[in-house]
Homo-oligomer: A and B are copies of this chain.
Amino acid sequence: MEEKKHLVGGISRKTLERLPVYHHYLERRDSEGLVNISAPVIALDLQLNEVQVRKDIAMVARSAGKPKTGYVVKDLIDDIEEFLGYHNTNQAVLVGAGSLGKALLSYRGFEQYGVEIVMAFDGDAKKAEQKVGEKMILPMEKLENLCRRMNIHIGIITVPADSAQEVCDRLVDGGVRAIWNFAPIHLNVPDHVLVQNENMAVSLAALSKYLYETDKDAARGNGV
């Protein structure tokens, strides 16, 4: 019953993380006119292990690579796109039209990955009824109802941590099955709902920590 921890659809989380990186890399190599590519070359350029590259590719490729020549770049791109579902667009709603929320609303980049934000919700009456780009900001009251009626399955949470769990519950009530959470908080959800944490605090923590440690080492080294 605790399946979804490491695997999403039979593929390890780590592999899933690398696929978009391969994808972008291959697109670039393709635009340079490269036709074939081998695992060792990919591994070298992306600083990965070549066996790992081969195994990742084996998870998604529909045709095998050829010894000596490697893989067909264009095929690999297609296979990754197909596997990640870049072509079947999912509609999403965003809750919390603060600065981060508005940025995501106006960000074009997501459609490339098959996700389209169609509208936003915000508890603040002043924000509601405004528009960001083409997208309406609606009052929270309409959330569950609209999600259900429009058959929306992805919710993006950009509210402060305090209200994130409540928003999460309401999204789930509205039929949302996948949640992209920008609040630095653990969300409790039913088993059938996937939570994807975009935890910026984590990244910042890692950065600060690294600088702190290296500064400390440097100070020690210098005898300062």
**Closest chain B CB from A73 CB (angstroms):** 17
With A and B bound together, what is the CA distance between A11 and B86 in angstroms?
Answer: 36
Can you name 6 A-B residue pairings with CB atoms under 8 Å?
A: A16-B206, A46-B186, A84-B205, A103-B104, A177-B211, A194-B210
Give how many copies assemble into the complex. 2
- A interface residue count range (under 10 / 10 to 19 / 20 to 34 / 35 or more): 35 or more
Q: Which of B17, B88, B180, B209 contacts A207 (CB 8 A)?
A: B180
**Which residues on B sit within 8 Å (CB–CB) of A114?**
204, 208
Q: Once the chains bind, are B210 and A9 in contact (CB under 8 Å)?
A: yes
Given A20-B184, A184-B24, A211 contacting B47 (CB threshold 8 A):
no
**Closest chain B CB from A195 CB (angstroms):** 10
Q: Once the chains bind, are B113 and A178 in contact (CB under 8 Å)?
A: no
**Which residues on B sit within 8 Å (CB–CB) of A69?**
none
Given A21-B186, A208-B88, A198 contacting B196 (CB threshold 8 A):
no
Top 5 A-B residue pairs of the complex, sorted by shortest distance between their CB atoms: A103-B103, A9-B213, A20-B201, A113-B204, A85-B208
**Which residues on B sit within 8 Å (CB–CB) of A214?**
177, 192
Q: Is the interface of A mostly helix, strand, loop or mixed?
A: helix
Q: Once the chains bind, are B106 and A205 in contact (CB under 8 Å)?
A: no
Chain B CB within 8 A of A136 CB: no
In this complex, what residue of B is CB-closest to A11?
B209
With A and B bound together, what is the CA distance between A13 and B209 in angstroms?
Answer: 11
Chain B CB within 8 A of A161 CB: yes
Chain B CB within 8 A of A222 CB: no
Given A90-B208, A196-B206, A107 contacting B113 (CB threshold 8 A):
no
